[in-house]
Amino acid sequence: MGADPVAGDMTPGGSRITVAIVDDHPVVIEGVRSWLATEPRLAVVATGEDPDTVLAAARPPADVVLLDLRLRGRMVLDKVAELSGAGRRVVVYSEHSDSETILAVLDAGAVAFLAKHEGREHCVDTVLAAASDRPYVPPALAGAIVGDRRTGRPVLSDKEREALLLWFQSMSKASVARRMNISEHTVKQYVDRARIKYARAGRPAATKAALLARAIEDGLVRADEIGN
């Protein structure tokens, strides 16, 4: 079964968040499409059961990939890792909502996990948050995070740490962007991804002060690196 491009969902300016749905059950696809259709900021651009075919058919390219974890009888954690490694925002949704599976999905690079029983509101909010690189923690994911007894702190990339350090030094995100020779949007992504990593660890940091506290606690930055 191939991918089904979805025509007519985009506004003329192409400003809505584009979503690709990958599932091997047409009834599930139609149900999720109907949920997402209730939010005018979202547009489904392709659907189908094969991730590569769906993403190739998506026009314009999908901002978020909503991916069923079990396709044609096989768990596709490897595909989650592949797509995430290629820079895709992958939201995994599945009936397999045990903590071990959820944590494995996050370890593979998915930006969020959504249990299929969690309903329309959580589905819409998860996709909106994923598109803007914001953390959103629906109930099944929250349970897995709270129950996670693994040791270790969030691992930030060198660029994420550099952006945070400059931002903590009372620089605006625009100033950080100029200093790092990147866009302000990319700076925001680095900061938001750090917040997502802390949310996954069960240590949310919604404010700049909270994020700074977390980073100092974990030795990611030193207090003497922060200017007055």
pTM to 2 decimal places: 0.68
Side-chain-side CA neighbours of 106 within 13 Å: the count stands at 28
- Residue 13 is predicted with a pLDDT of 45
| pLDDT greater than 80 at residue 73 | yes
> For residue 5, what are the β-bridge partners?
46
User: If pLDDT is split at 50, 70 and 90, which confidence band does 219 have?
Assistant: confident
**Minimum mean pLDDT among 37-46, 99-108, 112-121, 213-222: which range?**
213-222
User: If pLDDT is split at 50, 70 and 90, which confidence band does 225 have?
Assistant: confident
User: If pLDDT is split at 50, 70 and 90, which confidence band does 16 have?
Assistant: very high
- Mean pLDDT of the 174-197 span: 90
- Residue 135 is predicted with a pLDDT of 67
Angle formed at CA 70 by CA 56 and CA 36, multiple of 5 degrees: 60
User: If pLDDT is split at 50, 70 and 90, which confidence band does 151 have?
Assistant: low
- Mean pLDDT of the 41-69 span: 96
Q: Cα–Cα distance between 198 and 143 in angstroms, integer?
A: 15
- Residue 11 is predicted with a pLDDT of 33
- Between 4 and 100, the more confident residue is 100
Domains assigned to the chain: 7-226 (3.40.50.2300)
- Residue 128 is predicted with a pLDDT of 94
- Residue 220 is predicted with a pLDDT of 75
- Residue 149 is predicted with a pLDDT of 63
- Mean pLDDT of the 185-194 span: 89
- Residue 25 is predicted with a pLDDT of 96
- Residue 39 is predicted with a pLDDT of 97
- Residue 34 is predicted with a pLDDT of 97
| pLDDT greater than 60 at residue 228 | no
